[in-house]
Amino acid sequence: MDDSQRIALIPGSSWQESLRGTNAIGTALVERTAMTVQGAEHFLDRNHVLGCSAVPIFNAHNQVMGTLDVSTDAKLPQQHTLALVRMSAQMIENRLFTASHAGEYSLHFHSRPEFIGTLWEGIAIFNAEHRLVAINRSGQFQLALAHDHLAGLSFTDLFASLPQQHFQAAQSVIFPLQTSQQARIYARMELRQVHAKEQPAHNSRPTSRTCAASLQMLNTGDSRVAQVISQVERVLDLDIPILIEGETGAGKELFARAIHEASQRSKGPWIAVNCAALPEG
C-alpha cells in the first residue's frame, strides 16, 4: 500500500499532465492518441519504476470519455501491452456506442469481409425509416465522414440502395455493398435486440436461422467445385477437421458455413474466428 500511495496508483489520484508531467494516462488524454511511457520517460522520479500503456476512449462525437491504462514494473517486457490495451479500449468504445444509441437496424461493414464482426468493423445504426441514428468512429473513417455532418442522412446518402428484404429479414449474411463514393465494401445487416425487446413476451417465437449458403447453391456446374463438394460429402459427419484454402474473397467462409449447415452439427452454433485480426502476441 505504501508503494501504491507513493506512485498514486490508488482510487482518486489525479494523473493530469498539468499536475504530474509526462505520464501515459495524462499525456494520452492531451494528445488524444495511444501512448506508452516507460521508466525514466516519466516526469516524476518516483514514477520511473513504472511502465505504462494508455489508450483514450472516444464516443461517436469524437469526444474523449476516458482512458484505459495498464501500469506495471518497468523492468518487465512490454512489447505486446499497448496492442492489448488498444483492443480492450476499442471493445469498450464499441460497447458504449451500441448501448448509447437506439435504432431498428445496425449495419456492420468493412472493406475486407473477414474484418466484419471484429473490433475494427464500421457500425451504422438506422431507424425504421432507414435514417442514420449514429455511426461509430471506424465507420466514419472508412466512409470519410465528419461527425458534425451526419444529421439527417439516410441510408441512400451513404450507400447504394439495398434490397428491402435485407432490412425486413435482417439476416446475418455478408453481402457486397457500394458506398455513395462508388467504393466497394462488405456488410451485414442485423435487426437490433432493442427492437425485439419491444415485442410482448407471449408473442415471441423461436426463429429458424437463415443460412448464407448451402452446398447445393454453391454447386453451379463447375466441375472442380462439384468434385470438392463430392469430397466434402464423404467426410461431412466424421470427427475430423477440414482445411479450405484459397485467396481472400474466394468464399472460404461461405463454403465452411455451407458444410456446417449440411452436417449433423447444423443445430449447433456457427462460430467464425478471424485469426488475421488477432495480434501476434
Q: HSE on the CB side for 87, CA within 13 Å?
A: 10
Q: Which residue has the cell 456492420?
A: 108
- pLDDT tens for each residue of 132-170: 888 898 888 888 887 777 777 888 888 877 666 566 555
Same topology between domain 2-98 and domain 101-203:
yes
Predicted confidence band at 249 (pLDDT cuts at 50, 70, 90)? Answer: low
Q: In sequence order, which ranges of 43-172 are alpha helices (DSSP H)?
A: 81-100, 137-142, 155-158, 164-169
Q: What CATH number does the domain located at 101-203 have?
A: 3.30.450
Q: What CATH number does the domain located at 2-98 have?
A: 3.30.450.40
31-54 mean pLDDT: 90
* Cβ-Cβ contacts under 8 Å for 63 (sequence gap 6 or more): none
How much is the pLDDT for 163?
Answer: 62
* In the chain, domain spans: 2-98, 101-203, 215-277
